[in-house]
């Protein structure tokens, strides 16, 4: 990684991340955090349909199948779409901490082009936690889970309360989400983070 900015360096008092005891077991699919999510939602026809699987510790893997609708240059994935795949993968890590958090900063390196028709094999881990700040990194490989690195990212996520979404989201979608008891129960349970 070249030239990561200072705000992505954990402070001296940062602690090692701790996997929540109720986190999905290694190998288990995490499932979508919201059905309409562009990154992971099964009900989002335009989305990436990324599926993340819990790894050991506070890590996970995910796969992104690059389709023709993801092109930037002819036959190649758009860089912003690849950044989205990285963002979603990194965001999914917070599930293992049982913390609700949003992306504050995302720095991405694009090292190799990613052709349409290939699968991007992603892996991500939380590296440190300092108060509400969650530091993480991810890589995406082509040609298999051990293939060459095509993209890399480092990120800072910031923990938020459920009210972050209620206060800022569009009322239509918030009302729909709040009428889904599973969504509300899960979000509130994560907020308490016992």
Ligand X SMILES: CCCCC/C=C\C/C=C\C/C=C\C/C=C\CCCC(=O)SCCNC(=O)CCNC(=O)[C@H](O)C(C)(C)COP(=O)(O)OP(=O)(O)OC[C@H]1O[C@@H](n2cnc3c(N)ncnc32)[C@H](O)[C@@H]1OP(=O)(O)O
Nearest to 89 by CA among 115, 129, 58: 58
Q: State the first-to-last Cα distance of the chain, in angstroms, to the nearest integer.
A: 35
Contact 149, 94 (CB under 8 A): no
Chain centroid, CA 54 distance in Å: 12
Rounded to a whole number of angstroms, the minimum distance from the CB of residue 153 to ligand X is 12
Q: How many CA atoms lie less than 13 Å away from 151 in the CB half-sphere?
A: 30
Choose which of 17, 32, 34, 48 interacts with ligand X (CB under 6 A).
34
Choose which of 29, 102, 149, 176 interacts with ligand X (CB under 6 A).
102
From residue 151 to residue 170, the character string flagging contacts with ligand X as x (rule: CB under 6 A) and all else as - is: -----x-x-x-x--xx----
- Residue closer to ligand X by CB (options 13, 146) is 13
Q: Is residue 33 within the footprint of ligand X (CB under 6 A)?
A: yes
Contact 159, 100 (CB under 8 A): yes
Rounded to a whole number of angstroms, the minimum distance from the CB of residue 150 to ligand X is 20
Q: According to CB under 6 A, which residues from 47 to 66 bind ligand X?
A: none
- Residue closer to ligand X by CB (options 39, 47) is 39
Rounded to whole angstroms, the Cα distance separating 123 from 3 reads 21
Rounded to a whole number of angstroms, the minimum distance from the CB of residue 161 to ligand X is 9
- Of the listed pieces 13-21, 69-77, 103-111, 137-145, which binds ligand X according to CB under 6 A? 103-111
Q: Is 109 exposed, middle or buried (0-12, 13-18, 19+ CB in 10 A)?
A: middle
Contact 120, 163 (CB under 8 A): no
- Residue closer to ligand X by CB (options 146, 179) is 179
Contacting residues toward ligand X, per CB under 6 A: 7, 33-34, 39, 87-88, 91, 100, 102-105, 132-133, 156, 158, 160, 162, 165-166, 174, 177-178, 183-184, 187
């Amino acid at each position: 990684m070249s030239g990561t900015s200072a705000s992505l360096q954990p402070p001296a008092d940062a602690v090692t991340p701790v996997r929540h005891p109720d986190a999905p077991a290694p190998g288990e699919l995490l499932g979508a955090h919201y059905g309409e999510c562009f990154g992971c939602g099964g009900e989002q026809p335009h989305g990436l349909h990324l599926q993340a699987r819990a790894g050991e510790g506070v890590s996970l893997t995910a796969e992104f199948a690059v389709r023709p609708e993801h092109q930037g240059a002819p036959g190649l994935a758009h860089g912003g779409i690849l950044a989205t795949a990285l963002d979603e993968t990194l965001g999914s890590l917070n599930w293992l901490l049982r913390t609700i958090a949003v992306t504050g900063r995302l720095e991405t390196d694009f090292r190799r082009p990613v052709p349409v028709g290939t699968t991007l094999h992603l892996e991500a881990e939380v590296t440190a936690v300092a108060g509400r700040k969650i530091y993480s990194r991810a890589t995406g490989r082509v040609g298999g889970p051990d293939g060459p690195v095509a993209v890399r990212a480092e990120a800072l996520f910031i923990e938020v309360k459920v009210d972050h979404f209620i206060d800022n989201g569009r009322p239509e979608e918030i009302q729909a989400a709040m009428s889904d008891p599973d969504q509300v129960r899960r979000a509130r349970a994560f907020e308490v983070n016992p």
